Amino acid sequence: MDTISLTGKELAATLNSETAERAAALAERGAAPRLVLVVANDDPASGWYVKSLQRAAGKLGIDCDTVDLGATATADAIRSELRGLCADIAVDAVMLQTPLPERVALPDVSSAIVAAKDVDGVSPHSLGLLATGLPGFPPATSEAVVELAKHHDIPLAGRHVAVVGRSNVVGKPLAQLLLAENATVTVCHSRTTDLPAVTAAADIVVAAAGRAGLITGDHVREGAIVIDVGTNEGPDGKIVGDVDAASVQGKAGALSPVPGGVGPVTTALLMRHVVRAAEASRA
Amino acid sequence: MDTISLTGKELAATLNSETAERAAALAERGAAPRLVLVVANDDPASGWYVKSLQRAAGKLGIDCDTVDLGATATADAIRSELRGLCADIAVDAVMLQTPLPERVALPDVSSAIVAAKDVDGVSPHSLGLLATGLPGFPPATSEAVVELAKHHDIPLAGRHVAVVGRSNVVGKPLAQLLLAENATVTVCHSRTTDLPAVTAAADIVVAAAGRAGLITGDHVREGAIVIDVGTNEGPDGKIVGDVDAASVQGKAGALSPVPGGVGPVTTALLMRHVVRAAEASRA
C-alpha cells in the first residue's frame, strides 16, 4: 500500500500564523511576549535546538533570551535561576533545556517553574494538572503528536495506540493526552516483552524511545499509522527518527517524517503556549 | 485450572502490625498521629467507608476526626476547610471523601491539600510527584494493587498488564506505578473497542471500572492473573467487585476476592501513610 506522509509543516504554518497575530496584538499593547531559555549544558544538540527556538521566536515576534548557567551548574543554582525568572513580571515563559548536569534530575529542578510559565509542561505540578484534566500546559511534543493526528484526520477515540517510550517528557504525558481523547493506550518500553507483538496489535504506533531505527516493518501491522517522535543523530550527522522509514514504507498506512513531522508542530505549539502565557499574565 | 485466591488479609495484618508499632512510638514521644476525614456528602457508602476508616485508625492508635461540611458545601468552603487543616500543625493527614457535591470537581478542591498531608495522593501535585517519580503519597488503592501482587509473588516487570478504568484515583495513577515496576501497561475504558480482546492479550487484568460483573471469563486468557478493585453495591446490598468471579473461576490463574482482597490492603496502606506523614512532620 501507499504510505501517506504525515507532514507537520502545513499545520505548523497555520499555528504560527495565528501566534504571530496574537504576539503582534500583545506588542501593540506595549509588551511583546517574552520567553527565557535556561541552559545548563554544553551539548551540541541542545545548542542547535536553542538556536532553532530563538529563530522561531524571532520570526513570530516573541522575545527570546537565553541564560547559560554552564554545564557544571548545581541543582540549587538552577532552581534559584528558575525561581527568579518566575518571579519576574517581564518574563512570560520559562523553558529549561536538557541535558542537565550530572547528578541533577529534571523533576527536582523543574518544580521551581510555576505552572503559569511552564510552557513545556515539565514540572511535577504541570504534569499533575495534565493528569487530572485541569488547565495547564502539556509538554509540547506530546501535544504535537495529538495535533498532528487530528490535522491529518486520524481518529483517536476508541483506537488502540501503542506508545513506545515512557519518559516524563513524552511517553507518559502523551498517554494522558491520548486517554483524554478516548484512545486505548499501551505504554511500551525497554523492558517490554516481545515489543513487535505488542506494537503490531495497535492501530497507531508512536515511537518515542530515543533509539534510531528501533521501529521496523515487523513492529507495525498492515495499514497502521506510525508517528515518529525520535530525533537522533544519524551516522552522517543528520537527524533521524526512531522509525526505520524504509522498512515501514509500503506496510504502514501513514508515517510522519523526521525531520518535518512532529518537530515543526512541537515548536509551533511551544510558541503558542508562550503567547497564551503572555495573554494570561496581562489579563 | 485451580484459581488461586489473592487474599489481602495477611498482607494487611503485617502492614498494620508495623503501623501500630510506629504509631505507639509517636504517641510515646507525646503526639499520636492524627488523621482528619473531610466529608461533603450524605452518601451511605461514603458513610460506611468513613466508619471503617475510623475503626481501622482506632485499632492502630491513630486519632481520626471527621469534619462534615454537608452535601451542599461549596467548592470554596471545601477548599477553605482543607487549607485550614493543612495549616494546622496538630493535623498530620487529610483525606477528602467522595462523592463531592454536584458541581464540585475533585481536582479543583483537592489541590488545597498539601502533598505532605495528602495521604491518599489525590491532589494534582501528588499525582505529578507520582508521575515524575518524586517522593509523595501514591493513591492507596493503586498502591494496594501493586503491593498485593508483590505479596503473592506475582512478577510485574516485563509483564503486560491491562488496567480497566481510567479514573484519576485508580486507573491513571496505577498505570504510573505499574510502569515504575517495568510492566507494559494498557489502559482500557468505556470507549475501548473490543474490550475482551484487549484484556485477553494481557498477563494480568486489573478491574477498576466501577461496574459490577464487567469482567467475565471472556475477558481473561487461560491462566491470567485478575485483580479486582471494584466495590459496587450488589442487588442484595452486599459489596461486589467488577469481576464476575463465578465466570472467571477455573480459567484465571488467580483472582483477588471482593471483599477481602485489595480493600484491606488499601486501608492498611492509608494508615501507613498517616504514620509516615506524622513521622516526617516531627522529624
Give CA–CA dist A232/A245, Å, rounded.
14
Query: Number of CB pairs < 8 Å for A and B?
Result: 115
B247 assigned to a ligand binding site: no
Q: How far apart are CA B49 and CA A100, in angstroms?
A: 46
**Which residues make Cβ contacts (< 8 Å) with residue A147, sequence separation at least 6?**
A11, A265, A269
Chain A residues with at least one Cβ partner in B under 8 Å = 106-108, 110-111, 123-129, 131-134, 157-160, 166, 168, 172-173, 175-176, 179, 182, 184-189, 191-193, 198, 201
- Give the residues across from A63 on adjacent strands: A34
Fold for domain A30-115? Answer: Rossmann fold (3.40.50)
Instruction: Tell me which residues of chain A have a pLDDT lower than 70.
Output: none
The three cell numbers of residue B73 are 458545601
Q: Is A36 exposed, middle or buried (0-12, 13-18, 19+ CB in 10 A)?
A: buried
Domain boundaries, chain B: 30-114, 140-263
Cα–Cα dist A180/A184, whole Å: 10
Nearest CB neighbour to A192, from listed B127, B158, B188 = B158
The class (CATH top level) of B140-263 is alpha beta
What mean pLDDT value characterizes chain B?
96
At a CB cut-off of 8 Å and minimum separation 6, what does B34 contact? B62, B63, B64, B65, B90, B91, B92, B93, B278
A101-116 burial: b if 16+ Cβ within 10 Å, else e? beebebbbbbbbbbbb
**Segment B202-206 mean pLDDT:** 98
**Gap between the Cα atoms of A234 and A232, Å rounded:** 6
Taking alpha carbons only, the member of A75, A208, A86 closest to residue A141 is A208
Nearest CB among B127, B182, B188 relative to A184 is that of B188
Asked if B182's CB is within 8 angstroms of A185's CB, the reply is no
pLDDT of residue B169: 92
CB–CB contact B193 A159 (8 Å) = yes
Flag whether pLDDT at B140 surpasses 90: yes
Cell readout for B4 is: 488461586
pLDDT of residue B202: 98
Nearest residue on chain B to A182, alpha-carbon basis: B191
Task: Give phi and psi for A222, each to the nearest 5.
Answer: -50, 125
Between A131, A173, A187, which is nearest B185 by CB? A187
Tell me what percent of the residues of chain B surpass a pLDDT of 70. 100
Ligand-binding site membership of B103 (annotated):
no
Closest CA to A137 of A17, A2, A280: A280
Phi (first) and psi of residue A123, to 5 degrees: -75, 155
Enumerate the residues of chain A whose CB falls inside 8 A of the CB of residue B157. Answer: 191
B266 alpha-carbon distance from chain centroid? 5
Tally DSSP H helices, then E strands, for chain B. 10, 11
Contact B34, B90 (CB under 8 A): yes
Q: Quick one: how far is CA A142 from the chain centroid?
A: 5
Cell numbers given for A47:
545548542
Mean pLDDT of B262-272: 98
Contacts of A188 in chain B (CB under 8 A): 184
> Out of A159, A193, A201, whose CB is closest to B158?
A193
Grid cell 499555528 — which residue? Answer: A15
CB pair distance less than 8 Å for A124 and B129: yes
Same fold, A30-115 and A140-262: yes
B17: which residues sit within 8 A by CB, 6+ positions away? none
pLDDT at position A85: 98
pLDDT digits 0-9 by tens, B75-103:
999 999 999 999 999 999 999 999 999 99
Strand partners, A262: none
Contact assessment for residue A215 and residue A207, using Cβ atoms and an 8 Å cutoff: yes
pLDDT digits (tens, 9 = 90+) for A34-66: 999 999 999 988 999 999 999 999 999 999 999
Tell me which residue of A141, A92, A139 sits closest to A120, measured CA to CA.
Answer: A139
Answer positive or negative: Cα dihedral of A105, A84, B108, A142.
Answer: negative
Nearest by CB: B186 against A157, A158, A185? A185
- Quickly state the pLDDT bin for B234 (edges 50, 70, 90): confident
Q: How far is CA B232 from CA B37, B50, B199, B210, B262, in A?
A: 22, 16, 21, 7, 13
Q: Do B172 and A176 touch (CB under 8 A)?
A: yes
Asked if the Cβ–Cβ distance from A168 to B132 is below 8 Å, we say yes
| Closest to B35 in 3D by CA, of B5, B61, B63, B60 | B63
How many Å lie between the alpha carbon of B165 and the closest alpha carbon of chain A? 10
SS3 A133: coil
Q: Which residue is associated with the grid cell 475501548?
A: B192
Instruction: Please state whether beta strands B184-188 and A184-188 pair in parallel, antiparallel, or not at all (unpaired).
Output: antiparallel
Sequential DSSP letters for B103-116: T--HHHHHTTS-GG
Name the fold adopted by A140-262: Rossmann fold (3.40.50)
Omega within 30 of 0 (cis) for the link into A173: no
Beta strands B63-68 and B184-188 are unpaired
Which residues in chain B are closer than 8 Å to A111, comparing Cβ atoms? 134
Backbone torsion region of residue B194, taken as left when φ is above 0, otherwise alpha when ψ lies between -120 and 50, otherwise beta: left
A-chain residue closest to B182, CA distance: A191
Fold annotation for B30-114: Rossmann fold (3.40.50)
Q: Tell me if residue B258 falls in helix, strand or coil.
A: coil
pLDDT number for residue A283: 76
Backbone angles phi, psi at B144, to 5 degrees: -65, -35
Please indicate whether, in this complex, the C-beta atoms of A184 and B172 are within 8 angstroms of each other: no
Q: What is the mean pLDDT of residues B113-141?
A: 96
Provide the 3-class DSSP secondary structure of residue B30.
coil
**Does residue B31 surpass a pLDDT of 90?**
no
Closest residue of chain B to A188, computed from CA coordinates: B184
Helix residue ranges, H only, chain B? 9-28, 44-60, 75-87, 106-110, 124-132, 140-151, 171-180, 195-200, 245-248, 262-282
Query: Helices A171-180 and A140-151, interaxial angle, to 10°?
Result: 40
pLDDT tens column, B148-198: 999 999 999 999 999 999 999 999 999 999 999 999 999 999 999 999 999
Given an 8 Å threshold on Cβ–Cβ distance, is A182 in contact with B191? yes
Q: What pLDDT does B149 receive?
A: 98
